[in-house]
Amino acid sequence: MARFPRRARLLKPGEFQAALKRGKRHNDRWLTAACVVNDLGHPRLGLAIAKKSVPLATQRNRIKRKIRETFRLQQLQLPAVDLVILARPGCAGIPAAELDRSLERLWKRIAASSPGSSSD
RNA sequence: GGAGUCGGCCGGGCAGCCGCCGCCGCAGCAAUGCGGGGGAGGAAAGUCCGGGCUCCGCAGGGCAGGGUGCCAGGUAACGCCUGGGCGGCGCGAGCCGACGGAAAGUGCAACAGAGAGCAGACCGCCGAUGGCCCCGACACGACGUGUCAGGGCACAGGCAAGGGUGAAACGGUGCGGUAAGAGCGCACCGCGAGUCCGGCAACGGACCGGCACGGCAAACCCCACCUGGAGCAAGACCAAAUAGGGAAGGUGUACGGCUCGUCCGUACGACGCGUGGCCCGCGUGCCUUCCGGGUAGGUUGCUGGAGCGCGGCGGUGACGCCGCGCCUAGAGGAAUGGCUGCCGUGGGCGCGCAAGCGUCCGGCACAGAACCCGGCUUACAGGCCGGCUCCCACC
RNA sequence: UGGGGCGUAGCCAAGUGGUAAGGCAGCGGGUUUUGAUCCCGUCAUUCGGUGGUUCGAAUCCAUCCGCCCCAG
């Protein structure tokens, strides 16, 4: 069952810093993913949707929900990495389906980049 | 039926599956699992005001600084709200107004213009009075003087009505008046720190007075009232690792003593650096335990409150009082979502005389709690309810 | 989330009630064989927007918009 508990998230500033500083980056048209391997056996997600890129709070929330939902559904196919998703400027008003396609491309690239995917 | 105006309210609905965040119950050492129940707004926004709460400061009062500004009331408080006054807009219902003081003082007014503040005379008007010139009549006396009547000049002087400048020119209109004019006089309007009456007051009415007192206080200012500073990243508690602070104990060598012990006394400390050694100088102990401050991190503040609903009473109203009922988000890199079906609603297209039916839509606003309230302001697809006004038609 | 600051030509900016300084850049001209330098001229229909006060607003007041900084 695809759940999304607290342990599957990045919680502390240090964890974000580590992913952003040492992580490998995957860029798409609207989003950037920075990921670094962890030793937990499952992936963890952190979101950094800057106010500068998406000025309206309601749109930031919409994007974050969409990312979390697809992460929830895709996490069994992902390797054990800490990853931070950043919003790039200009993605404020894009339609939901466009965001879905962008996310799908990202998940595939992350899954392909690291050989050992989490199996449980 | 149309146009308008004011007030109140909603701002998608119902299901199914999969998730997210608190709370309660049960099980478990725990992680967690199962069950129940809850989970964004009218603006949650802008942060423009006012409070609560917390810490800091503080005897009281005043000054400075800041704010408010017709009057009265409401309120925890307000720059908010209600009622009233005055002014303006509208046929009207209604709407709008930073709306105290310019007679406390100091200032400001470019350019234009004669003159810009108790001013001024450019064009102009007059020239009654005085002056000069022309002419006539009369008197005296002999070509002059005087008196009177008429005409002219614009010299003295008078005027500020009209023209012109300006945003603004020292009350307005009319009549009288005058040489021409002028509040010089009168009527109405305006004005007034006068008197009386009504009103808690703002203010209004009547009478009286006389024409003096221009504008700007979102210029300084005066008057009245209010006002300490910072903010939940406030503040409180627990508290690693590392470094440093304080306290206690232990830890080196030599000699001597005896009750021969991890004992007592005395002396030298020891190590590193500066020169290998000495003197000298500088620097530093090590180990154990405890204490205090305190970082990371964690806990708390954290949601029951000037609360919401209904009813009654008082008040024109804002609002207040009483009774009954209800519990209604508390996250923390941050939940309140995803997919699907049906309905509602809007638009396009097709069929149909029409009602309507079918189909498509990546149509259905503004927008997301972060300590909590009261306001203001700004954004907002569409829709519902009620009061009132005006116009048209008909009975 | 809270606190603070700024907005004047393409850029840097002065001006704080009375015709919007100055510099760089640009454009036109002059000087020079040509270029650089230098000289002259030109460049603000909304002083971020909208209302208001005033005779008059970049300036004073209200409100909205945009940008930047600080506090983890």
* Per-residue pLDDT at A114: 61
Q: For the domain with range A6-113, which CATH number is right: 3.30.1490.480, 3.30.230.10, 3.40.640.10, 3.40.50.720?
A: 3.30.230.10
* Per-residue pLDDT at A120: 35
Q: Are A37 and A23 in contact (CB under 8 A)?
A: no
Locate A107 and state its tokens: 């998940």
For the cut 50, the answer to whether the pLDDT of residue A72 exceeds it is: yes
User: Rounded distance, CA A108 to CA A115, Å?
Assistant: 12
Give A63 or A1, the one with higher predicted confidence: A63
* Per-residue pLDDT at A19: 82
Closest C1' nucleotide to A52's CA: C67
Beta bridge partners of A37: A81
Q: Is the CB of A93 under 7 A from strand B?
A: no
Nearest Cα to Cα of residue A32 among A116, A118, A90: A90
**Per-residue pLDDT tens for A31-54?**
888 888 887 788 888 888 888 778
User: Rounded distance, CA A81 to CA A115, Å?
Assistant: 11
Place of tokens 């939901």: A96
For the cut 60, the answer to whether the pLDDT of residue A97 exceeds it is: yes
Looking only at the bridges linking them, the beta strands covering A31-37 and A81-87 are antiparallel
**Span CA (A1) to C1' (B289), Å:** 54
Q: What is the ipTM of this complex?
A: 0.77
User: Rounded distance, CA A109 to CA A113, Å?
Assistant: 6
* Per-residue pLDDT at A43: 87
For the cut 60, the answer to whether the pLDDT of residue A115 exceeds it is: no
